[in-house]
């Protein structure tokens, strides 16, 4: 076994590099074909997810294999080799096995313990089998990885160490509120109908959303997913991708995970949806702007002029003497907070004067009161607060201190589906792969992780022993084949010299000779298989070939036959 893996993941590379290096299906196919065409590799498959791109191959030369696989990854990902190389990692033989088994158990995932990686490993093996690039080693390795991952999830509580990426993302959107409470009675838009989008839709349905809308490039797939969700008792329907802008304007939360190479939702499209964002069936809110010249209007003007609502230091002669303003407000040595002023004004003028939706009375309405040195987030807040209708207060949470969240966006695609600039829009909470990576880095590790690591170590040792034993099998088979040929030759020579033997006598002599040969070979072949399972055991196969002068071509032919049998046996088992 000379297993080599070259790859990059969220642990080694920034999201921006992973985005650019993502491999669509056609690129994976071409990568595998070119890998087998390269001299160092005899079999290969690729594991490509939103968080990792890894090329597994059986190579006969380590250094040449690393160079060739790295070059091929750069070539097919579109990221230059010089730029990609600092983010690549390399694992060889037992370390490569340990890496894949850890990945299968969720130990190397962005969210520890997530189980979706098992399906992605299964897909990687299926692709290698379909293209006939996965031979005995890759088949054995990935089949075992699937078994190890299932064992970890069934025998330990690794699931408690973290949730699926979808659930974790929704929890981030909920911002500390119980996700079941947060999701209840919301309208959700799911963009895409692949495995991740389907999981997101199923999760949202389980959490109790009011309505689910599925948008997909292929309408049939969207309708199929919507039908499945409807059977579960959820109000679900399918729409075309062209309907996404209209549906986004009505949605409370949107999840996107497509295979698109460009943005599905731009900042402009999200801003346009927010401009129309209304609670379905709600009446158009009345104009709650404070009367011009009132305290609230003048407070709003001061806040707009400063670009923020904060402590208002110094003397405010323009506020002195107004009803509801405490004397301290006019005292230069006693700063008055806007919060205190708002509380006093609410008591004096009533709740309507301080309700959301108030437009500041600015001298020049065409000029943004936020200065050029203020943040873009402040500018977005000014634009939003001056033009948006209020949402239901009991269905909102606070996002980054910019106001109530009216639209939650979860981007699970790689490359990203949603423009990262939407986080500057007030009323929007965006959770994407990058923010999930930052959030999960601080997540506590469960005690079960240690138990899973122990399982991985045991399974790696068992896999290595089995592979080393399997490596010597062709030599043992070739030795026994040679012994059988010797017996057959000697019996033919004996029959020529003892022509008077009947069938019973000839059979008895043949059986006796075979028993002698089997007894002579039994102890050394059994022992050599045992020794082969230990580190360095491959040397015993070389010793057998040398001691018995076995034909290398005979051993190779046995290996090829064994490889073909394994390919037939494993095909269709994933």
The better pLDDT of the pair 541, 52 is held by 52
User: Predicted confidence band at 502 (pLDDT cuts at 50, 70, 90)?
Assistant: confident
Q: What is the mean pLDDT of residues 190-209?
A: 88
Are the C-beta atoms of 378 and 308 separated by less than 8 Å? yes
Structure tokens given for 218: 């292929």
pLDDT value at 107 more than 70? yes
Residue range 66-104, pLDDT digits in tens: 999 999 999 998 899 999 999 999 999 999 999 999 999
User: Predicted confidence band at 400 (pLDDT cuts at 50, 70, 90)?
Assistant: very low
Q: Beta-strand (E) ranges in 279-436?
A: 311-312, 336-337, 407-411, 428-431
> Residue 303: CB partners within 8 Å, gap ≥ 6?
309, 338, 360
254-258, 271-275, 349-353, 490-494: least confidently modelled range: 349-353
Structure confidence at residue 396 (pLDDT): 35
| 103: enclosing H helix or E strand | helix 94-104
Residues 15, 17, 18, 20, CA torsion sign? positive
Structure confidence at residue 47 (pLDDT): 95
Q: How far apart are CA 563 and CA 574, in angstroms?
A: 18
User: Predicted confidence band at 20 (pLDDT cuts at 50, 70, 90)?
Assistant: confident
Q: How far is CA 339 from the centre of its chain?
A: 44
Residue range 513-556, pLDDT digits in tens: 888 988 888 888 777 777 776 666 667 777 777 877 777 666 66
pLDDT value at 509 more than 70? yes
Q: How far apart are CA 282 and CA 187, in angstroms?
A: 15
| 168: enclosing H helix or E strand | helix 165-174
Backbone φ and ψ of 355, nearest 5°: -70, 160
Residue range 337-347, pLDDT digits in tens: 333 333 333 33
Cis before residue 364, ω within 30 degrees of 0?
no
Are the C-beta atoms of 1 and 468 separated by less than 8 Å? yes
Residue range 161-189, pLDDT digits in tens: 555 678 888 888 988 888 888 998 899 99
Structure confidence at residue 560 (pLDDT): 52
Structure confidence at residue 264 (pLDDT): 93
Strands across the sheet with 89-92, in order?
Answer: 41-48, 52-59, 3-9, 89-92
Are the C-beta atoms of 70 and 85 separated by less than 8 Å? yes
Helix axis angle, 448-497 relative to 552-570, nearest 10°?
A: 130
Please say if 50 is a catalytic residue: yes
pLDDT value at 461 more than 80? yes
3-state helix/strand/coil string of 496-559 = HHCCCCCHHHHHHHHHHHHHHHHHHHHHHHHHHHHHHCCCCCHHHHHHHHHHCCCCHHHHHHHH
DSSP codes joined into one string, 481-494: HHHHHHHHHHHHHH
Q: Residue 485 CB: number of other CB atoms within 10 A?
A: 11
Helix axis angle, 433-441 relative to 165-174, nearest 10°?
A: 90
Among residues 50, 105, 257, 368, the one annotated as catalytic is 50
Q: What letter would DSSP give residue 58?
A: E
Q: What is residue 6's three-state secondary structure?
A: strand
The better pLDDT of the pair 432, 5 is held by 5
Structure tokens given for 433: 């792969």
Which residue has 């394994």 as its token pair?
566
Structure tokens given for 201: 């839709």
Structure confidence at residue 534 (pLDDT): 67
Structure confidence at residue 18 (pLDDT): 87
Give me the long-range contacts of 195-198 (CB less than 8 A, separation at least 24). 195/116, 195/119, 196/50, 196/116, 196/165, 196/166, 196/257, 196/412, 197/225, 197/255, 197/256, 197/257, 197/258, 197/412, 198/225
Q: How far apart are CA 150 and CA 156, in angstroms?
A: 10
Report which of 55, 118, 119 is spatially closest to residue 91, judged by C-alpha positions.
55
Highest mean pLDDT out of 122-131, 270-279, 306-315: 122-131
Structure confidence at residue 406 (pLDDT): 87
The better pLDDT of the pair 282, 43 is held by 43
pLDDT value at 242 more than 90? yes
Structure confidence at residue 310 (pLDDT): 40
Q: How far apart are CA 22 and CA 271, in angstroms?
A: 28
Structure confidence at residue 239 (pLDDT): 94
Q: How far apart are CA 533 and CA 466, in angstroms?
A: 6
Alpha-carbon Rg for the chain in angstroms: 34
Q: What is residue 88's three-state secondary structure?
A: coil
Structure tokens given for 263: 């943005």
Bridge partners for 5 per DSSP? 56, 91
pTM for this structure?
Answer: 0.57
Q: What is residue 311's three-state secondary structure?
A: strand
Highest mean pLDDT out of 2-11, 384-393, 561-570: 2-11
As to burial, measured by CB atoms within 10 angstroms (0-12 exposed, 13-18 middle, 19+ buried), residue 64 is middle
DSSP codes joined into one string, 33-50: HHHHHSTTEEEEEEEE-S
Average pLDDT of the residues of the chain: 75
């Amino acid at each position: 076994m000379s297993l080599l893996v070259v790859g990059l993941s969220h642990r080694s590379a920034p999201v921006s590099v992973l985005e650019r290096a993502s491999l669509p299906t056609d690129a994976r196919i071409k990568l595998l074909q070119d890998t087998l065409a390269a001299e160092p590799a005899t079999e290969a498959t690729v594991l490509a997810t939103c968080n990792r791109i890894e090329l597994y191959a059986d190579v006969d030369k380590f250094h040449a294999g690393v160079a060739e696989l790295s070059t091929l990854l750069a070539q097919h990902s579109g990221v230059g080799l010089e730029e990609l190389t600092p983010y690549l990692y390399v694992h060889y033989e037992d370390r490569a096995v340990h890496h894949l088994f850890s990945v299968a158990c969720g130990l190397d995932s962005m969210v520890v313990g997530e189980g979706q990686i098992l399906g992605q490993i299964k897909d990687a093996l299926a692709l290698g089998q379909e293209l006939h690039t996965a031979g005995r080693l890759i088949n054995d390795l990935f089949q075992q990885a699937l078994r190890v991952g299932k064992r970890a999830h069934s025998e330990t509580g690794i699931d408690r160490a973290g949730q699926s990426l979808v659930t974790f993302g929704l929890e981030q959107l909920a911002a500390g509120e119980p996700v079941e409470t947060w999701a209840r009675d919301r309208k959700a838009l799911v963009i895409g109908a692949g495995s991740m989008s389907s999981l997101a839709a199923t999760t949202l349905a389980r959490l109790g959303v009011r309505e689910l809308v599925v948008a997909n490039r292929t309408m049939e797939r969207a309708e199929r997913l919507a039908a499945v969700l409807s059977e579960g008792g959820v109000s679900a329907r399918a729409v075309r991708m062209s309907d996404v802008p209209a549906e986004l304007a009505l949605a409370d939360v949107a999840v996107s995970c497509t295979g698109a190479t460009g943005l599905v939702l731009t900042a402009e499209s999200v801003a346009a949806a927010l401009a129309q964002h209304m609670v379905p069936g709600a009446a158009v809110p009345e104009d709650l702007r404070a009367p011009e010249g009132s305290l609230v209007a003048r407070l709003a003007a001061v806040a707009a002029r400063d670009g923020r609502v904060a402590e208002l230091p110094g003397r405010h002669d323009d506020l002195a003497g107004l009803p509801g303003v405490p004397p301290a407000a006019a005292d230069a040595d006693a700063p008055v907070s806007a919060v205190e002023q708002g509380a006093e004004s609410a008591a004096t003028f009533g709740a309507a004067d301080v309700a959301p939706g108030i437009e500041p009375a600015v001298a020049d309405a065409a000029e943004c009161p936020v200065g050029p040195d203020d943040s873009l987030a402040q500018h977005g807040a000014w634009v939003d607060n001056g033009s948006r209708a209020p949402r239901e207060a009991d269905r909102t949470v606070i996002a980054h201190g910019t106001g109530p969240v009216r639209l939650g966006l979860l981007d699970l695609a790689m490359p990203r589906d949603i423009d990262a600039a939407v986080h500057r829009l007030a009323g929007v909470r965006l959770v994407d792969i990058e923010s999930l990576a930052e959030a999960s880095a601080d997540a506590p590790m469960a005690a079960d992780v240690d138990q899973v690591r122990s399982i991985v170590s045991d399974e790696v040792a068992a896999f290595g022993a089995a592979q080393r034993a399997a490596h010597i099998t062709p030599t043992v088979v070739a030795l026994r084949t040679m012994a059988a040929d010797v017996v057959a030759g000697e019996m033919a020579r004996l029959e020529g010299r003892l022509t008077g033997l009947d069938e019973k006598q000839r059979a008895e002599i043949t059986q006796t000779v075979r028993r002698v040969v089997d007894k002579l070979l039994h102890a050394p072949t059994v022992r050599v298989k045992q020794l082969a399972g230990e580190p360095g055991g491959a040397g015993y196969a070389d010793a057998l070939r040398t001691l018995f002068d076995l034909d290398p071509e005979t051993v190779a032919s046995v290996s090829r036959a064994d490889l073909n049998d394994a390919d037939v046996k494993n095909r269709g088992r994933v």
